Structure 1
Amino acid sequence: MGQHLQPTAKSACAFVVGLDTEGHWVAIETHGRGGGIFTDRDAAIRYAEFETSHRPRAVRLSHRRVRLEL
């Protein structure tokens, strides 16, 4: 039978949400696997929470400027 593997805490998807240097709200996956630019903070948080299946402590707000690298 197939087993369902749970991601380890280290490899689990997590996001940082914050403003970039141009004042856009961004959500960035901490392993560099994804992210996006959003119209407001709430939209960025909603996206990050959805992508992390609403896992507690998976989304952090940054008080420093962040950069989404494409």
Structure 2
Amino acid sequence: MPVTIPVAALASKAAEPPSRRFIVGQDPQGNWVAMEVHGLGGGLFRTRHDALHYATDLTGHRPDAVVMSADQIELLL
């Protein structure tokens, strides 16, 4: 006799997506950049505050999820 597995049980065992992490810094033109470390997203911003706000919102305000870069970074499209 076949075994029936509830759909909810299958969904709970699905792999969790990798945690999003961002690097925030300035590009060579002086724009502020927030870039997801796996290339899943990012953007150019007028202010450091805006870049940090974007990155912290998308990472659920996790304290270890956003790092500031001391070096220039570039968002590749």
TM-score in terms of structure 1 length: 0.87
Spell out, residue by residue over 1:23-48, the C-alpha distance to the aligned partner (whole angstroms, 9 max, x if none): 10010000011100001000000000
Aligned to 1:42, the other structure's residue is in SS state helix
Instruction: Flag structure 2 segments of 5+ consecutive residues without an equivalent.
Output: 1-7
Letter of the structure 2 residue corresponding to residue 39 of structure 1: R
Cα offset, 1:55, TM superposition: 1.2
Residue 24, structure 1, aligned to residue 31, structure 2: yes
Instruction: Report the count of equivalent residues.
Output: 67
Corresponding residue number in structure 2 for 1:55:
62
Query: Over alpha carbons, which structure has the higher Rg?
Result: 2
Letter of the structure 1 residue corresponding to residue 47 of structure 2: D
Larger helix fraction of residues: 2
Corresponding residue number in structure 1 for 2:42:
35
Identity of aligned residues (%): 43
- 1:51, 1:35 → 2: CA distance? 10
Aligned to 1:55, the other structure's residue is in SS state coil
RMSD: 1.4
Cα offset, 1:6, TM superposition: 4.1
Cα offset, 1:12, TM superposition: 1.2
Instruction: Flag structure 1 segments of 5+ consecutive residues without an equivalent.
Output: none
